[in-house]
Structure 1
């Protein structure tokens, strides 16, 4: 998708370090090289290499300023790329159209699967041509496209996705059956156990 954007791209690299509490252990310093830490991809933390273009849609990964509408999940469009900041225009919400500056910030992943803690200093954004149903909750959009290759897996999930669009004409749904063929119906998953104690 980003290839169709004709603007010149700019690459931003993060600065990754092992947290000081863990760096005292000599073994960690030998095993966890800079290249190893740069290659880690963790949920809620931007990648080491961030390639952006003017006009690319992005999503915030951190709460920055609620009063300006800069919250985790806010969607923006890149309007200018500088060395130390990214200028972007807010796409949704009460601050739609407002231009903001986003600076790099230090983030530590909270994933318990990592046996050590590291810090990544990078812009708290990621490219966002599509969003998960969890991230779209609370947003209102003029156009929503749903790709349902499998039946929805949680009761109410289809409702959340379909209810984000402001006008039914802006909703498009592609449904596939178990053979990958187009279909016009899907299974709405309901866990009958939730009705047991009613």
Structure 2
């Protein structure tokens, strides 16, 4: 819904249809459509309650679905195994490219079959798969990704060359300019 202070009349009101708003992809809010099933792995996109482990980036497994709340089990961190309730929330995007403000009432979740290296920091996982389509040039990120796995047998790495074929090695990129002026 368009925020009242930002609402417009006439031609702009005709352009800003529900379909238009549902199609917007913006930072600060999940996509309009979220299709979940019991057992789906999800990631929390908002801080809800730190004391119960409901922080942005927390991974959960959906255990029950309802219209206004989702029950889930925390799958990582100090609160692993705890059952929690995630409510629908009103969210307003923070994307400066939008010339208007609107809000969506939805669950602050996204499916999480995969995650970025940054989101994995601080978590221990039983299985980690790394897809290296390009040479890794930030050694700290490669270390974080590989060190998230609790057992080396749970680590799988796929390295691709320029043609997209799998190979056994990758280039260790080091920019010598970094060492200038030391």
- The answer to whether the superposition gives a TM-score over 0.5 is yes
Q: What pairs up with 1:54-93 in 2 under 5 angstroms?
A: 54-93=38-77
Q: Give the match for residue 158 of structure 2.
A: 174
Unaligned runs of 5+ in 2: none
Q: What SS does the aligned partner of 1:161 have?
A: helix
In 1, Cα distance between equivalents of 2:11 and 2:111 = 35
Q: What SS does the aligned partner of 1:118 have?
A: coil
**Which structure: greater strand fraction?**
1
Runs of 4+ in 1 over 6 A off after TM superposition: none
Q: What SS does the aligned partner of 1:52 have?
A: coil
Q: Does 1:52 align with 2:36?
A: yes
Q: What pairs up with 1:96-111 in 2 under 5 angstroms?
A: 96-111=80-95
Q: What is the root-mean-square deviation in Å for CA atoms of aligned residues?
A: 1.7
Q: Give the match for residue 146 of structure 1.
A: 130
Unaligned runs of 5+ in 1: 1-16
In 1, Cα distance between equivalents of 2:165 and 2:177 = 31
Most deviating of 47-56 and 28-37: 28-37
Cα offset, 1:71, TM superposition: 0.9
Most deviating of 183-192 and 114-123: 183-192
In 2, Cα distance between equivalents of 1:188 and 1:111 = 36
Q: Give the match for residue 101 of structure 2.
A: 117
Q: Give the match for residue 32 of structure 1.
A: 16
Cα offset, 1:153, TM superposition: 4.9
Per-residue CA deviations over 1:144-171 (Å, capped at 9, x if unaligned) read 1111122235342211211211222221
TM-score when scaled to structure 2?
A: 0.91
Cα offset, 1:176, TM superposition: 0.9
**Is the CA contact 2:28–2:92 (under 8 Å) kept in the aligned structure 1?**
no
Cα offset, 1:180, TM superposition: 1.5
Cα offset, 1:94, TM superposition: 0.6
Q: Give the match for residue 184 of structure 1.
A: 168
**Is the CA contact 2:28–2:95 (under 8 Å) kept in the aligned structure 1?**
no
In 1, Cα distance between equivalents of 2:9 and 2:101 = 12
In 2, Cα distance between equivalents of 1:29 and 1:189 = 52
Q: Does 1:193 align with 2:174?
A: no
